[in-house]
Amino acid sequence: MAKALLLDLSGVLYDGDVLLPGALEAVRRVQGSDLEVRFITNTSQKTRVDLLAHLRGFGFSVEEPQLFTAVDAARQWLQQRDLRPFCLVHENIRGEFDDFEQDDPNAVLIADAADGFSYANLNRAFQLCLEGAPLLGVGYNRYFKSGGEVLMDVGAFIVAVEFAAGIKATIVGKPSPEFFHQVLASTSASAEHALMVGDDVFGDVEGALNAGLPACLVRTGKYRPGDEARIDGDFALVDSVAEAVELALAAA
């Protein structure tokens, strides 16, 4: 029996500034049911405030506690350990870390820095990690889609620093099981009674399965033909979030 629905944002509800067909109506329908809805994302080029405004601009009704981001999880991880991060992040979210002491950094945070992924910045991250600083990443996403264009995501840059420094990063967003469990903790549902819906077969679907959640892959956003054969495990495959909502409601 389904009690909660976890929805990825980009590629599931919208693509850049374009609302995906049927997404608004599907979300409104499930919000009118008994299912608890949560919106989760690894997106790290927008602040939490901007993401909420983006969603509401499409007409989605999203309360602040319903939104879970990898950037929030990174902030929490750093705060709990009282660390001074070297923030290799997008300029749009740099202000999210202004309350951290960043002189003489003793940790490295890598998010989607876009043009900030210069050799100098990546080399600085490598040097700090080589000296023992922990490496924190928002996700292992390989690529994302925006405005019809497929773009490299943060995962490749995290792996580069891992390889050079001979360490492993702590991932705080998807596909980390802890991230999924943090979202579930805000609901009354256990893992087996929640459904994760996403367009990333690795971060969304495989991550959810490894965390004990049923999952559904949508053929929108970054989905590419054959993605469903790239991982093991049983999961649903549908053409849109509207179909995914139908599955969740049928199981409620």
- Please tell me the pTM assigned to this model: 0.92
Q: Which residues pair with 37 in a beta bridge?
A: 5
Indicate the length of the chain as a whole number. 252
Distance separating alpha carbons of residues 145 and 210, to the nearest angstrom: 24
Mean pLDDT, residues 100-114 taken together: 96
| Final residue of a structural domain among 136, 171, 206 | 171
pLDDT the model gives residue 150: 86
pLDDT in tens, 209-243: 999 999 999 999 999 999 999 999 999 999 999 99
Mean pLDDT, residues 120-124 taken together: 98
Give the single-character DSSP code of 186.
Answer: T
Q: Are residues 204 and 219 in the same domain?
A: yes
Q: Which residues constitute the domain of residue 137?
A: 73-171
pLDDT the model gives residue 3: 97
By DSSP bridging, strand 215-218 and strand 236-238 are parallel
Domain count, the chain: 2
Q: Are residues 58 and 146 in the same domain?
A: no
Q: Are residues 167 and 109 in the same domain?
A: yes
pLDDT in tens, 19-43: 999 999 999 999 999 999 999 999 9
Burial class (CB in 10 A: 0-12, 13-18, 19+), 209: buried
Q: Are residues 104 and 166 in the same domain?
A: yes
pLDDT the model gives residue 151: 87
Query: What number of helices (H) and strands (E) belong to the chain?
Result: 8, 14
| Final residue of a structural domain among 120, 144, 171 | 171
Q: Are residues 79 and 17 in the same domain?
A: no
